[in-house]
Amino acid sequence: MFIFKYVTPYVFNFYNINANHLITLFIISKKAYHDMKAFNTSLKERDNFLKLSPYFNEFANNPKYKELVELTTSDLEIIGVQLFAYKEDIESCSNDVKREFELEKIYHSNWGAFVKETISSYEFQLGEAIDKVKGDKKKDLIMVIEALAYLQEHAENADIEEFDKRIESTDFMKVESKIKERMAKIFEWN
């Protein structure tokens, strides 16, 4: 759910930036959907994913456990609606992306690398525009770029609380300089 707090709410502020907004939102949302679906399935199947032996049965019979199942089921439905909206708004894209339009199945043979490349490309596109925005929009753009970088570093476990703490103590001018340094290195490699 990390992307729905740190990326999705801000992207629409950056539509004037030439970037693959909807394609990226679609791909990372599909990843979130499949991650949440796997978690939801393990909850429904009462898989002892927390390794709570011998207390797992007691935990699974707790009303809070049922609420967790219902919450993740609801989250799946919400993500599904968002995915449909993103897909419908994508005007053109590669065949690799089009194949992924079917929500329930992942078609790309190296899905993890495909997601990572999509995020990297988007991070680069946003980074190119860092000097084109000012004030709060610049701060939001830097936060989104940092969120994308964090998401790549912590692909399996992007911790919202940890990133909240990181953002609270962020020196945005220093981070902007680091982003510009990364961009310069990318341009050197090309």
Taking CB atoms within 8 Å and a gap of at least 24, the contacts of 129-138 are 129/14, 129/17, 129/18, 129/19, 130/176, 130/179, 130/180, 130/183, 132/17, 133/14, 133/17, 137/13, 137/14, 138/172, 138/176
Q: For 170-176, what is the mean pLDDT? A: 89
Count of positions (residues) in the chain: 190
Q: For 91-120, what is the mean pLDDT? A: 94
Q: 63 lies in which domain range?
A: 2-189
Q: Is the pLDDT of residue 189 over 80?
A: no
pLDDT digits (tens, 9 = 90+) for 84-99: 999 999 999 999 999 9
pTM above 0.85, yes or no: yes
pLDDT in the model for residue 52: 74
Q: Which residue has the tokens 């339009």?
A: 101
Query: How far is CA 152 from its chain centroid?
Result: 9
CA atoms within 13 A on the CB side of 1: 9
Question: How many structural domains is the chain composed of?
Answer: 1
pLDDT in the model for residue 74: 95
